[in-house]
Every structure is written in structure tokens, then in C-alpha cells.
Amino acid sequence: MDINPVKTRADYGAALKEIETLMRAESGSADGDKLDVMVTLIEAYENRHYSLDLPDPVETIKFEMERKGLTVKDLQPMIGQSNRVYEVLNRKRSLTLNMIRKLHDTLGIPAESLIKTSQPRHKPLI
């Protein structure tokens, strides 16, 4: 098994091409073992160079609303009366721990995505 470290962008590209050729390898075979090692190297490189920040909590809620066809009324059991839901969606009120738990339990939104402090939207200069 010939495996090289993934240190540069060129190494990364070559490793991705190698993984592509190994995708159909059977688990436990020599190629399957090589695939496991290559994926681990790629994940380490991506975590170091392409780390993703958690999404904004309000944007996460709006995304789930759109994805599931939810309305403000559907969020009331998790957040409170409609005025409170609008306050959260307009970033006038922060999510409480209780709201985060209910949104996580009911909608399956990862709690990590709801914990981050929501950033106010910047108004256009014009």
C-alpha cells in the first residue's frame, strides 16, 4: 500500500482522484483498507484547511421552515406566541435554552446550530 501525506493542494487533488478509483473497493480488502486510510487523510486535510463555521441560528430555523413548509404558527409550540416567533426570526430576541431544546427535539435541528449567537443583519448602505 503506497500512501503519501496530504500536505498541499496538489496532494489533496491527487488523493481525491485516488479515492475515486477506490470507491468500489470491498471492505476488508487491500483496496478497501487503502480507501479507509485515504479518507482519513482527506478528512484531516479538509478540517485543517476548509473548516466550516456553524450556520446562523435564525438562518437555520428559516431554512428548516422553508424545507418543511412550516409557518410561524408551527413554531409557536417551540418558541412561544407569534409575536415572540417574529422577534426571534427578526433577531430582536435571542433563543433561550428551552427554545433550543424544543426546536432540536421537535424539528431535529442540531443543537450546535442553534447555540451560536445570531449575528444582526447589516442594512444596505443605499
Comparing C-alpha atoms, which of 78, 97, 104 is closest to residue 89? 78
CA distances from 108 to 18, 33, 42, 64 (A): 35, 34, 28, 9
Once rounded to an integer, what is the mean pLDDT over residues 32-43? 92
Confidence (pLDDT) at 6: 92
Confidence (pLDDT) at 27: 86
pLDDT at 113 over 50: yes
Q: Which grid cell sits at 37?
A: 486510510
72-79 and 82-89 are packed helices; what angle lies between their axes, rounded to 10 degrees?
100
pLDDT at 125 over 70: no
Once rounded to an integer, what is the mean pLDDT over residues 12-40? 91
Once rounded to an integer, what is the mean pLDDT over residues 61-67? 96
- % of residues, the chain, pLDDT over 90: 67
Whether domain 57-115 has CATH 3.90.105: the reply is no
- % of residues, the chain, pLDDT over 70: 91
More confident residue, 124 or 31: 31
Task: Return the domain boundaries, the chain.
Answer: 9-49, 57-115
Name, in order, each residue with C-beta under 8 angstroms of 40's C-beta and a sequence gap of 6 or more.
none
pTM given for the model: 0.56
